[in-house]
Structure 1
Amino acid sequence: MSEKSLADVLLHPVRWRIVRTFSGRELTTTQLRGLIDDVPVTTLYRHVGVLADAGVLEIVSERRVRGAVERTYRLDQTRQAVGESGAAAMSREEHRDAFHLLLAGLSSDFEAYLARESIDVLADHVNYNQAALYVTDEDLERIQRGFADLLTPYLRAPDETDSGTHRRLMMTTILLPDDT
């Protein structure tokens, strides 16, 4: 599948939610259904199939459960995002759609957080801000490598023996040039 086709696959709200839910996790479709319970089961399974066929999700393991095969999936580590060639091939409208989809997902996540019975933005480490950076291209590359080195150990869910002290946070970065 070409990078452009991969972008087309990812530019669907349900598939985008599925991808975000799998981020750093290995899940069965049953576990996924428990995390995305507002999407009809057949629709969810159909979109998992589309993502698997596109190579976005890969099968980690299979086991027999009551005569059926239960598959455990994860994001294909080599195809988690549209690569440079795919991004370069996208039109302005496709970039706009992808960005709006990201913003809609962020807004939905924040609304879900605010809808909790009790929130504590300090204890929950909720943070959102915007800052201007003054960098050279070399500075930006160094910052991006530093983020990758710093965050890589935290990008996978802990194994099942975890004492429950880890919690899942979603981190989003957006870099835009500011010509002012």
Structure 2
Amino acid sequence: MATADVLLHPVRMRILQSLFDADPLTTAQLRERLPDIAPATMYRHIAVLTEAGVLEVVDEKRVRGTVERSYRVCKEEAVVDPAARAAMTREDHLRAYTTFAASLMADFDRYLAYEDADPNADGVVYRQAAVWLTDEELTALVEEIESSVLARVGHARDGGRVRRVISLVVVPDKPA
């Protein structure tokens, strides 16, 4: 499993988000989806993710004298395991969360930049709820949410389906 430093970098998070539940993509296709990332930066971060085992090369083709690789996410490697999370300092968590939150903001900003963006019609949702839960109830709730989302990850791109990014944040109101 990758470390938080590998996964929670703003550029690498965007690369991973582009590849989640997508067909394998080449670097050129990733650059089309993420045109604001400089080519050298894109290649460098793809190399970091590949070296860490988070991305895997699924195809190689010769194109005009170079090798074009297609990548996909190794989902089991694209998570920070519980032991690594437990070893993170408060500062590590703050940095990781800040990167995550900034990524959410950037995603929403990119969405709103589309001329035809209509948050109401497009089903944009952002809300919070406070619930009183034991540790066991919290674990069950997170597992239910993850299970519900994962059950839909493999849906085909037909029938008017729109790719949507779902994020989950759980923060206690105060330490237990």
TM-score tier, shorter chain, comes to 0.7 to 0.9
User: Percent identical across equivalent pairs?
Assistant: 41
- CA displacement at 1:170 relative to structure 2: 0.9
Aligned residue number for residue 167 of structure 2:
172
Q: How does 1:103-142 map to 2 (within 5 A)?
A: 103-142=101-140
SS of corresponding position for 2:69: strand
- Report how many residues are paired: 174
Structure 2: distance between partners of 1:168 and 1:90: 32
- CA displacement at 1:112 relative to structure 2: 1.9
- What's the TM-score, normalizing by structure 2? 0.88
* From 15, 18, 21, the counterpart of 1:21: 18
Structure 1: distance between partners of 2:122 and 2:19: 21
- CA displacement at 1:154 relative to structure 2: 2.3
- CA displacement at 1:132 relative to structure 2: 0.5
Using a 3 Å threshold, how does the CA distance of structure 1 residues 14 and 149 change in structure 2: closer, same or farther? closer
Does residue 9 of the first structure (1) align with residue 2 of the second (2)?
Answer: no
Structure 1: segments with no counterpart, 5+ residues: none
Using a 3 Å threshold, how does the CA distance of structure 1 residues 164 and 52 change in structure 2: closer, same or farther? farther
Bigger shift: residues 17-26 or 63-72: 63-72
- What's the TM-score, normalizing by structure 1? 0.86
Contact conserved, 2:31 with 2:42, CA < 8 A, in 1?
yes
Structure 2: distance between partners of 1:116 and 1:31: 19
Q: Deviation above 6 Å: which 4+ runs of structure 1?
A: none
Deviations 1:75-106 (A, max 9, x none): 11211111101111111111101100011111
Q: How does 1:141-160 map to 2 (within 5 A)?
A: 141-156=139-154, 158=156
SS of corresponding position for 1:140: helix
Structure 2: distance between partners of 1:115 and 1:123: 16
Structure 2: segments with no counterpart, 5+ residues: none
Using a 3 Å threshold, how does the CA distance of structure 1 residues 9 and 138 change in structure 2: closer, same or farther? closer
